[in-house]
Amino acid sequence: MQNVKILVVDDEERMRKLIRDFLKVRGYDVVEAGDGEEAVETFFSDKSISLILLDVMMPRMNGWEVLKEIRKVSSVPIIMLTARGEEQDELQGFKLGVDEYISKPFSPKILTARVEAILRRAHVSDTDVITCGGVELDRSAHTVRANGEPVDLSFKEFELLDYFIANKNIALSRENILNNVWDFDYFGDSRTIDTHVKKLRAKLGDCGNQIKTIWGMGYKFEEE
């Protein structure tokens, strides 16, 4: 992952240094911001940032506000760092477009493993355009169309849709979805999937009806 730039946002200098040192050992280019306003300024001035590690509780502008500003224009992968661990906070983050959640204190090795997993999926080399019913997904361009109209998806919503289409007409358990879209080391709960499916259905419009609920199990994406 050489020359991949990561923005680390945290008001604690010691925490930024810890994360920066581990990421640099892995070959990443790291830029830092000590508060929310600096984070927004840095992101909008540097178009080469591939991923953001974003703390929630910060002065001047908190993580939620930073997330909202960035999601207005970009689906760059964002991992939220939080000391709270409250379920409602996590659900709020996913609704706003967070891709991953890591609660403090965390293992730097786990953090770097998740960063690597997200970046691997974000840099898919497969150039195939896949379709299912009225949905067209272009992996290389990272774009989606529903009935010919462009659909703006977050990074995680795109991954979820890609997994659904790749396994069209197959009933998928929530456990399988978590393992394949959120990785084996994700410690959240299955309601995370339900939140993302709800948003995905809404964004796909009429094509959202292709996502069928399998009660007591999970979901199936049907070709109509």
CATH code, 195: 1.10.10.10
Is residue 9 located within the same domain as residue 118? yes
The domain in which residue 53 lies consists of 5-122
In 3D, which of 14, 66, 77 has the Cα closest to residue 37? 66
Among 64, 89, 122, the domain-final residue is: 122
pLDDT at position 189, please?
A: 62
- Ordered strands of the 149-151 beta sheet: 129-132, 135-138, 143-146, 149-151
Among 122, 152, 167, the domain-final residue is: 122
pLDDT at position 123, please?
A: 61
Residue 69 CA to residue 48 CA, distance in Å, equals 17
Domain count for the chain, please give it: 2
Q: Which residues of the chain have pLDDT under 50?
A: 1, 124-127, 184-185
Is residue 150 located within the same domain as residue 215? yes
pLDDT at position 146, please?
A: 95
Is residue 178 located within the same domain as residue 194? yes
pLDDT at position 216, please?
A: 85
Is residue 62 located within the same domain as residue 167? no
Is residue 197 located within the same domain as residue 216? yes
Is residue 22 located within the same domain as residue 62? yes
pLDDT at position 32, please?
A: 96
82 contacts 103 by C-beta, under 8 angstroms: yes
Give the rounded distance of the alpha carbon of 221 from its chain centre.
20
pLDDT at position 125, please?
A: 42
CATH code, 46: 3.40.50.2300
Is residue 9 located within the same domain as residue 115? yes
Is residue 117 located within the same domain as residue 143? no
10 contacts 81 by C-beta, under 8 angstroms: yes
